[in-house]
Amino acid sequence: MSSISRPSGGTSRRSILLGLGALPVLAACGNPVGSDGPERLDARVDAARDFLRSNYASLGDLFDKAHGILYIPVVTEAGLFVGGGYGQGALRINDVTVDFYSATRASFGLQVGAQQYAHALFFMTEQALADFRRSEGWAASADLRYAVPTHGGSMGAETTTQFAPVIAVVFGQSGLIAGASLAGVRYRRIIP
């Protein structure tokens, strides 16, 4: 009986080719990469903000206490062993757009499918907002704090913000990949 061993730690040519097959899926998911002008992107951000405010009263404290909010109205992700995701949005301070950003992620491992979701990052301290705006490519870490919006009641933003300078809210998820996480998403300032 013979055994076949494969080198560990490497990526096979087959998985790279299969992963590249996911790229057309990503492009076909309806996320118009690079085609949104500032007015259209701002309109999408307005819709995301309005959706959160009208459907999740429990986020009221976050809206009131945040020093800035980054809205990414649509992120499209697709993967077949190698995956990727892309979305565009706007950073707002006092509900006024100050910059536009892209959100990108590359991922490797067992994954098959596609999904779309929206998210918002609430910057709860001046320092967190300043660090984000100064960075050339801010990356969401695995220890990012998530708020799960509910339709009623308070989330206790007072205690949450003591320990979390940035709070993420993921919403509007649809697709075939379960569970949207922002770990590894890289945000960069763009000119739409």
Q: pLDDT (tens digit, 0 to 9) for every residue of the chain, 192 residues total?
A: 443 333 334 433 333 333 444 444 333 333 444 455 899 999 999 999 999 999 998 899 999 999 999 999 999 888 777 778 899 999 999 999 999 999 998 876 656 678 888 999 999 999 999 999 999 889 888 777 888 765 444 444 444 545 689 999 988 877 555 455 788 899 999 987
In this prediction the pTM is 0.74
pLDDT tens string 111-153: 667 888 899 999 999 999 999 999 988 988 877 788 876 544 4
Sign of CA dihedral 129, 108, 148, 41: positive
Task: Tell me the DSSP string of 101-136.
Answer: EEEEEEEEEEEEEEEEEEEEEEE-SHHHHHHHHH-S
Q: What is the mean pLDDT of the chain?
A: 76
pLDDT tens string 58-71: 899 999 999 999 99
Among the listed residues 144, 136, 149, 150, the one whose alpha carbon sits nearest the alpha carbon of residue 163: 144
Domains of the chain by residue range? 13-190
